[in-house]
Structure 1
Amino acid sequence: MSFLKNLLTVFALSCLCFGSSLWAEERPNIVFVLVDDMGYSDLGCYGGEIQTPNIDRLAERGVRFSQMYNTAKCFPSRACLLTGIYAQQSGMDKKHGEMKNAVTLGEVLREAGYRTLASGKHHGTENLYDRGFDHYYGLRDGCCNFWNPGERRPGEPEPGRKRARHWCIDEQTFYPYTPEDPDFYATDAFTDRALEWLEEPETQQKPFFLYLAYTAPHYPLHAWPEDIAKYKGVYDEGYHVIQRRRYQRQVEMGLVDPETTPFTQEPKPGAWETLSRDERAKEAQRMEIYAAMLDRVDQNIGRLVDKLQAHGRLENTIIMFASDNGGCAEGTGAVVFSEDPNDAGTLASYDTVGENWAIVQNTPFRFYKNYSHEGGICTPFIVSWPDGIKEKGAMNDQVSHFIDIMPTLVEIGETTYPKSYYGEKIVPMQGVSLLPAFSGGKVARPEPLFWQWKQGGAVRLGDLKAVKWGPQWELYDLSKDRNETENLAASHAEELSGLVARWEQWMASFDPEE
């Protein structure tokens, strides 16, 4: 009897030491990594020259999707991802606010017994700690100074910024938030906090869901000097050379079919050649800093993977990776910043990459953030799950959308989606589970997909996509024309009319009071 008692004691201690339990082992842990304003071709595994070895390894151990969609804008995408319904249904389609008529992934998975953790950007007016997450640390707003999101610290210059930002640490909300650590950098800080939570006994004794939502590589262009140094000279040849190389790598890796996606999208001819030497140097420097920001994200994902490996939990952890919209061509709108070129990438600066680099980032697609064309809404999507994905390194061209994440995680978490929450009726899930696609199966999607942001709008049914920016609709057959160059609106007027009618019906279905 004493032998059996000792054996059980050793077993119990080993469960605590290695962060496992029978419950934690039965259902996978889930990590969703979301980056901000990253282009389709930026990652190494999607054709880019930026050094992303840790993300590339996730792709090698999992599946790369070529037709995953967001909403073209940060806060509607994040709302779709967190709720499984369209932003128009949760009241997050026009301005960031509260997510109405909905439950979050945190609320659903915590009810299912998961430990729920969120670190990074939310872009709403709610504290995610109040929306089902056991921990929340990060930026409640849209973007911020990476080095100091708050007020000027003694001995430092004024932080480049648009305005003060909200920051949350569990139940507390700070406005503004001024970190004491002079070495604070948002990308590192988000990861630091997530790794701390993985050490907690409560996290080690349950399956967990971690939503790790970086602000990088969204402007302002801020990066560590040693990361920027890696890319010195990489972009000196200009937009067209970099884009052509990215496209060629995409073709070589089988991500892009030159028959359906010919190389036609590029910055205006001569856009680089007409710049002065100083202007070219400035443009190259912008992209160097941008690359360094994404490089640092990759380094932090490596830290996360190493932690999971050390805890013996990596094999049974699903890691998903995506961007909330395409590369950004916007100006910054900053009201406080230094124009000294020596300050580029530092606390005092506040800069963005501009339109031409945004076009390059979204190779091979048209346009960029805000547009409902492919360059604005199509994101890299990687799913790595050693225990659950047998065909490692596969590519999948099935159409998917952020609204599909909720039904996918509901199925993976072996739980149900509620019809109401705390007595309030909620909108049913709008997407479909992607779980069959992880093993090479087909995903059944009976309804079209819809988009609407500002002047943009789109509807996709099968391979046909109607899209607009402004009043004029265009029509494309994406099976033959993935980068939307041959407008079929005139020759296929009936098909276009039918799709536009579906879109208008969808738009009319929302309660204007919501």
Structure 2
Amino acid sequence: MGLTLTGSAALYAAEPATTPAKPNILIILVDDMGYSDLGCFGSEIKTPNLDRLAAGGMKFTQVYNTAKCYPTRASLLTGAYYQRTDLDFSKTATLGEVLQPAGYHTWWAGKNHAHFNPVTRGFEHYYGMIGGAENHFNPGDQPAGPGQPAPASKGKGATWADDAVEMKRFTPKDPKFYDTDAFTDRGLQWLDKYGKDGKPFLLYMAYTAPHWPLQAWPEDIAKYKGVYDGGYDAVREARYKRQIELGLVDPKTSPLPPREEDVKAKKKKAKGENGAEDPRTVATRMEIYAAMVDRIDQNIGRLIKKLEEQGKLDNTLIMFLSDNGACAEGPKVDNADPHAPMGSVASFVSYGQNWATVSNTPLRKWKTDSFEGGINTPLVVHWPAAIKPQAGWNREPAHLIDIMPTVLAVSGAKFPGESKQENIAQPDGVSLLPAFKGLPVRRPNPLFFQFAKGAAVRDGQWKLVRNTQTWELYNMAADRTEMRDLAAQKPELVQKMDSEWKAWWKDTTGNEWTGTPPKEKAEE
């Protein structure tokens, strides 16, 4: 496929007339969830509500994000590669800005991670965290003393907003506050308040879970007591077996890669230290993580129930995704209470590289990487009015840049041509509506990736990828888990795709590729 970097307006402007007019749109984005963490994707974690949506709709297996929190949110909200956006999205238009003029309510609850308040960019209501990570039980002031909340990311309190009111340190008054529940509470309030006015809505639920710190309600953690006592490899192999049984993976084209040695443990061993935790602590970390995913599903169930009560579920397009692969990183704070029970308000821990590998079964690597484990997300789509339940798997490669064109196609909204200040970057993606109807998606260009040291090109069955200066080449049709590097055997293809990637880089950034990754725009 040759490279012709063009706007995609023609690719989402005209769709079959049988599509229901102006559906409600519910976009659910979770934070740092791995490829295999849903029951319908092979997990032992209980996700009956998402499994129900998957059974009544579609499951996409090759949908890409950007490997990191902020870039993914930029692409999802604008349809543009994040390299075209600034932290305030000034060069782009948001979903809110295109849907409000089309007669939609526009609501957003949860994480933002950009440098603006959503009510200034087309959203009628916003409730959530403008930053990147937080204490899930108490994002705000951190009283001193044992048993008190650990700090938010890097020791700072998270900035929250309730519509136009911004709080630099939001300390909840409700002793039962937990952000996953609180975001859903607000979404339900909006549905109740405006549910009878006849207008369609966009509800964007951007949950911060299961991003570290690992914190969950005790009753949810208790569900998974002992489930992970068998250790990383036993759980990973059980998930892989279920994925084969579900038809999600073919062991011939997706063999399970060896689990990579834990980097932190390796460093400890090099210093003569014991690099291993006791098995109970290891299992507890994953029990809490599972509880966080479980709680998300419970809250999605609350949203589904409300839509059913209002008679709106059939004509609501629901799309569920994760912002990147599972996270092998840990929090950058060191002053949490080491004596507090893991999972509580005063604890601030992550689950580490080995459990992240389990979460991403069978894919390699993790968040921030351009290998499949860093940039793949399950996509569950449910829309009874337009999508017939599909028992199989849709293996169409897609990307978060396709969400905006899809929303435009189903809503009839128009994307603005330019702002008062300068031209607005048009969406880079294409509409997935044909895939909803069982048709192929016409994509004129390859899919491109760059974050930190990682980069990739996905062009048909071929993927060029690197985490260093050296490209690797994989045939994704025959080697989905990236086990057999073919770069040395196909140098001409490597050169062609490298040239495509460099042309894309110049087009999206305005700069020639120097070989040195730029400093990223946003961290946790």
TM-score (norm 1): 0.91
- How far 1:99 moved relative to its partner? 1.3
Tell me the distance in 2 between the aligned counterparts of 1:347 and 1:204: 40
Aligned partner of residue 111 in structure 1, secondary structure:
coil
State the partner residue of 1:171.
164
Tell me the distance in 2 between the aligned counterparts of 1:90 and 1:69: 18
Amino acid in the other structure paired with 1:288: E
State the partner residue of 2:371.
373
1:329 and 2:328 equivalent? Answer: yes
State the partner residue of 1:28.
23
* 1:80-128 per-position Cα deviation (integer Å, ceiling 9, x unaligned): 000000000013xxxxx21131000011011111000000001111111
User: Structure 1 residues 203 and 36 mapped into 2: Cα distance closer, same or farther (>3 Å)?
Assistant: farther
State the partner residue of 2:500.
502
Whether the aligned pair in 2 keeps the contact of 1:410 and 1:416 (CA below 8 Å) is yes
- How far 1:257 moved relative to its partner? 1.1
Whether the aligned pair in 2 keeps the contact of 1:391 and 1:439 (CA below 8 Å) is no
Amino acid in the other structure paired with 1:384: H
- How far 1:415 moved relative to its partner? 1.9
Whether the aligned pair in 1 keeps the contact of 2:35 and 2:325 (CA below 8 Å) is yes
Tell me the distance in 2 between the aligned counterparts of 1:263 and 1:354: 20
Tell me the distance in 1 between the aligned counterparts of 2:90 and 2:491: 37
Whether the aligned pair in 1 keeps the contact of 2:21 and 2:410 (CA below 8 Å) is no
Amino acid in the other structure paired with 1:220: P
- How far 1:204 moved relative to its partner? 4.0
- How far 1:266 moved relative to its partner? 2.2
Tell me the distance in 1 between the aligned counterparts of 2:494 and 2:44: 38
Tell me the distance in 1 between the aligned counterparts of 2:244 and 2:371: 21
- The size of the alignment, in residue pairs, is 482
Q: Which is further off, 387-396 or 177-186?
A: 387-396
1:181 and 2:174 equivalent? Answer: yes
Amino acid in the other structure paired with 1:498: K
1:241 and 2:239 equivalent? Answer: no
Aligned partner of residue 393 in structure 2, secondary structure:
strand
* 1:456-484 per-position Cα deviation (integer Å, ceiling 9, x unaligned): 00011111111000111100010000000
State the partner residue of 1:81.
76
State the partner residue of 1:291.
290
State the partner residue of 2:202.
209
Tell me the distance in 1 between the aligned counterparts of 2:191 and 2:422: 33
User: Structure 1 residues 155 and 486 mapped into 2: Cα distance closer, same or farther (>3 Å)?
Assistant: closer
State the partner residue of 1:197.
190
Amino acid in the other structure paired with 1:453: F
| Aligned residue among 88, 96, 111 for 1:106 | 96
Amino acid in the other structure paired with 1:294: V
- How far 1:294 moved relative to its partner? 0.4
| Aligned residue among 29, 52, 57 for 1:57 | 52
State the partner residue of 1:68.
63
Tell me the distance in 2 between the aligned counterparts of 1:452 and 1:152: 36
State the partner residue of 1:12.
none
Aligned partner of residue 292 in structure 2, secondary structure:
helix
State the partner residue of 2:417.
419
* 1:382-418 per-position Cα deviation (integer Å, ceiling 9, x unaligned): 0001111124334200000000000000010012212
* 1:253-272 per-position Cα deviation (integer Å, ceiling 9, x unaligned): 11101111012242449x9x
Amino acid in the other structure paired with 1:132: G
- How far 1:67 moved relative to its partner? 0.3
Q: Could you say what the CA RMSD is over the residues aligned between the two structures, in angstroms?
A: 2.0
Tell me the distance in 2 between the aligned counterparts of 1:276 and 1:494: 44
- How far 1:421 moved relative to its partner? 2.9
State the partner residue of 1:476.
474
Tell me the distance in 1 between the aligned counterparts of 2:422 and 2:136: 38
| Aligned residue among 215, 222, 228 for 2:221 | 228
Whether the aligned pair in 2 keeps the contact of 1:40 and 1:361 (CA below 8 Å) is yes
Tell me the distance in 2 between the aligned counterparts of 1:189 and 1:441: 39
- How far 1:423 moved relative to its partner? 5.2
Tell me the distance in 1 between the aligned counterparts of 2:188 and 2:146: 29
User: Structure 1 residues 155 and 371 mapped into 2: Cα distance closer, same or farther (>3 Å)?
Assistant: closer
User: Structure 1 residues 234 and 85 mapped into 2: Cα distance closer, same or farther (>3 Å)?
Assistant: same
Tell me the distance in 2 between the aligned counterparts of 1:155 and 1:453: 39
Aligned partner of residue 395 in structure 1, secondary structure:
coil
Amino acid in the other structure paired with 2:477: S
Amino acid in the other structure paired with 1:111: P
- How far 1:40 moved relative to its partner? 0.2
Tell me the distance in 2 between the aligned counterparts of 1:393 and 1:320: 17
Whether the aligned pair in 2 keeps the contact of 1:79 and 1:90 (CA below 8 Å) is yes
State the partner residue of 1:218.
211
Amino acid in the other structure paired with 2:382: S
| Aligned residue among 115, 130, 133 for 2:123 | 133
Tell me the distance in 1 between the aligned counterparts of 2:338 and 2:281: 12
Amino acid in the other structure paired with 1:172: V
Q: Which is further off, 451-460 or 258-267?
A: 258-267
Whether the aligned pair in 1 keeps the contact of 2:102 and 2:413 (CA below 8 Å) is yes
Amino acid in the other structure paired with 1:338: D
1:404 and 2:399 equivalent? Answer: no
Whether the aligned pair in 2 keeps the contact of 1:265 and 1:366 (CA below 8 Å) is no
Amino acid in the other structure paired with 2:411: G
Tell me the distance in 2 between the aligned counterparts of 1:61 and 1:160: 41
Amino acid in the other structure paired with 1:193: R
| Aligned residue among 340, 343, 348 for 2:341 | 343
Amino acid in the other structure paired with 1:90: T
Whether the aligned pair in 1 keeps the contact of 2:55 and 2:389 (CA below 8 Å) is no
User: Structure 1 residues 403 and 314 mapped into 2: Cα distance closer, same or farther (>3 Å)?
Assistant: same
- How far 1:201 moved relative to its partner? 3.1
- How far 1:165 moved relative to its partner? 1.1
Amino acid in the other structure paired with 2:171: T
Tell me the distance in 2 between the aligned counterparts of 1:263 and 1:356: 14
Tell me the distance in 2 between the aligned counterparts of 1:319 and 1:357: 29
Aligned partner of residue 493 in structure 2, secondary structure:
helix
Whether the aligned pair in 2 keeps the contact of 1:239 and 1:267 (CA below 8 Å) is no
User: Structure 1 residues 157 and 278 mapped into 2: Cα distance closer, same or farther (>3 Å)?
Assistant: same
Unpaired stretches in structure 2, ≥5 consecutive residues = 1-19, 512-517
Amino acid in the other structure paired with 1:305: I
Whether the aligned pair in 2 keeps the contact of 1:240 and 1:267 (CA below 8 Å) is no
Q: Which is further off, 146-155 or 436-445?
A: 146-155
Unpaired stretches in structure 1, ≥5 consecutive residues = 1-24, 92-96
Amino acid in the other structure paired with 2:241: Q
Give runs of aligned pairs for residues 295-314 of structure 1, distance below 5 A. Answer: 295-314=294-313
User: Structure 1 residues 265 and 99 mapped into 2: Cα distance closer, same or farther (>3 Å)?
Assistant: farther
Tell me the distance in 2 between the aligned counterparts of 1:277 and 1:473: 33
Aligned residues: percent identity?
Answer: 50
State the partner residue of 1:315.
314
